[in-house]
A and B are shown apart, each in its own frame.
Chain A
Amino acid sequence: MTDIRKLSIEIYKKVSNDYVQTTPKKLKLIDVYLFYVALTGVIQLLYAIRVGSFPFNSFLSGFISTIGSFVLTVSLRMHLNPKNAEKERVPYRPERAIADWLFCNIIFHFTLFSFLG
């Protein structure tokens, strides 16, 4: 028992240290933003469960805004990560990626606002 606990604590420490040391600042910024988006999504879900999803269109709109933003920002992060480019899974095109991300967000939120009511 204590072995597993010790082991998991070691793994956690190594992963977090590696993350803090090896990820570039841009990606860390995006990660913080992702955490914030996920947090608002969870808060909304809890609110809807507690109080009820009365204006259902508004609830969907708010919740999906967080999910959509999360997905778009994750894809942005993938494009901005130079390590991905080395393995050639995702082409490394930072300017194009940011422009795409901004454009998609704007159109996405446009739709959401009209559904918000």
Chain B
Amino acid sequence: SASGNNVLVLLDNTAMQQSYSLFFNQLKDRGYKLNFFSAEDPSLTLTEYGEYLYDHLIIFAPTVEEFGGLVDVPSILDFIDEGHNVLLAGDSTVSDLSREIASECGIEFDDEGTYVLDHFHSGQSDVADHTTVSISTSEDTMLQEPVITGSKRQSDRKPVLFKGIAHTIKEGNGLNIAILRGYDTTYSSNPYEPIKATSTSIMGSNTILVSALQARNNARVVVSGSIQMFSDRYFTSSSDNEYLTAEISKWCFKERGILRAHNLTHHRIGETQAPQMYRVKDEITYSVVIEEFDGKQWVPFQSQNVQLEFTMLDPYVRTFLKPSTRGLYTATFTVPDVYGVYSFKVNYHQIGYSTLSLKTIQSVRPFRHDEYERFIKTANPYYTSCISMLVGVFVLFVFLLFTK
């Protein structure tokens, strides 16, 4: 991972290490050091002497009412504020503790005791119990971003099994991302009570099953309503759970979708160093190297839509940065007519990628008095008239001298 390999895993009970062994083993295979604890262990702590002991947190403890030791909701929120990642799984019996953590991340779980139900896409052969939902991952149900959900083709994917609670997020706020959602026929309700008109307000495509938050500091929180989605039983039941959870955890723990920029240079065309100030109407080029992390190392990032703004209160110039094969992005433009203090801004927000925010301040000066054009073309008639008058005076003088 780009940000460290220490993971704290909080479990309902330590027996879960066996029932979720396939998921944990594939994390270990990717190089993570997992530290298993029972969620109520009194020796729990996230920090020691002011430094974080862990880089990532997995909370597979939906029923725990209170974490043990020094871990609690404020400390977990601080953990996220410091840029670390959390993977939280809930259940139909999700406790207030997990609800609070999730709601601080913009995720609202449905009421206790409710399940995600879908009578048309049930994963159980038992007709009576439709609480296991089988979602076949298509455009309607799964986020089509390979950064988060993996690059396996649609035709190779099997359905994903899910049994748990639904949640809602405010889509469109730019930070919450819905990864897996229900069909139009999916709804959330308590299956053991009669249906009333007010049974649920979560239904259809608004039933979010797995969602994520990428905070402004690029910390990633993935919340799944079903802890059983990660279980060995579901992995081995002819489903795509193993692949999807692996891909989502890769994104969550910052193995993918991390960008960094370096070698930012800007200068006039034809020179190699930036002067202290640019001048109005200079031709300048701006270049930056953007790389992304592919799980093991930094490779050049390829994208056609990275934009550069040259702005002073308003963007005077906004162009695309053209990529090259080595991840070098360049743009060439003419400094506008207005002088002042500008900044070069690159703000790149793409779903699933960390935000790239680059800002360089640069002054632009007006023309020096000797940098204006010496003779103005439109004034040519006036120049010629003055000169011709003077010439005419001398010619007339000569003629007047020599005529009688």
Q: Are B382 and A69 in contact (CB under 8 A)?
A: no
Give the distance in Å from the alpha carbon of A41 to the alpha carbon of B404 in the complex. Answer: 29
Q: Are A33 and B396 in contact (CB under 8 A)?
A: yes
Q: Are B400 and A58 in contact (CB under 8 A)?
A: no
Interface of A is mostly: helix
Give the distance in Å from the alpha carbon of A41 to the alpha carbon of B382 in the complex. Answer: 10
Given known pairs A69-B389, A69-B392, A109-B389, the reply for A62 and B382 (CB within 8 Å) is: yes
Residues of A within 8 A of B403 (CB): 25-26, 29
Contact of B393 among A80, A105, A112 (CB under 8 A): A105
Binding stretch for chain B, among A6-14, A15-23, A47-55, A84-92: A47-55
How many residues of chain A are within 8 Å of chain B by beta carbon? 35
A44 at the A/B interface (Cβ < 8 Å)? yes
Interface of B is mostly: helix
Give the distance in Å from the alpha carbon of A3 to the alpha carbon of B396 in the complex. Answer: 42
B383 at the A/B interface (Cβ < 8 Å)? yes
Contact of A40 among B379, B389, B397 (CB under 8 A): B389
* Docked complex: B258-289 residues within 8 A CB-CB of A: none
Q: In angstroms, how far is the closest chain B Cβ from the Cβ of A59?
A: 6
Q: Which of B379, B389, B403 has the most CB of A within 10 A?
A: B389
Size category of the B interface is: 20 to 34
Contact of B399 among A29, A65, A105, A113 (CB under 8 A): A29
A74 at the A/B interface (Cβ < 8 Å)? no
Q: Are B399 and A51 in contact (CB under 8 A)?
A: no
Contact of B385 among A29, A30, A40 (CB under 8 A): A40
Contact of A65 among B376, B385, B401 (CB under 8 A): B385
* Docked complex: A40-86 residues within 8 A CB-CB of B: 40-41, 43-44, 47, 51-52, 54-55, 58-59, 61-63, 65-66, 69, 73, 80
Using CB atoms, name the residue of chain B closest to A29: B399
Residues of B within 8 A of A62 (CB): 379, 381-383, 385-386
B378 at the A/B interface (Cβ < 8 Å)? yes
Give the distance in Å from the alpha carbon of A81 to the alpha carbon of B390 in the complex. Answer: 23
Given known pairs A29-B396, A30-B396, the reply for A66 and B382 (CB within 8 Å) is: no
Given known pairs A26-B403, A54-B376, A109-B390, the reply for A102 and B397 (CB within 8 Å) is: yes
Residues of A within 8 A of B386 (CB): 61-62, 65, 109, 112-113, 116
Using CB atoms, name the residue of chain B closest to A99: B397
Residues of B within 8 A of A105 (CB): 390, 393
Using CB atoms, name the residue of chain B closest to A64: B386
| 10 examples of A-B residue contacts, CB within 8 angstroms | A25-B404, A26-B400, A33-B396, A63-B385, A69-B393, A98-B397, A102-B393, A105-B393, A109-B390, A116-B386
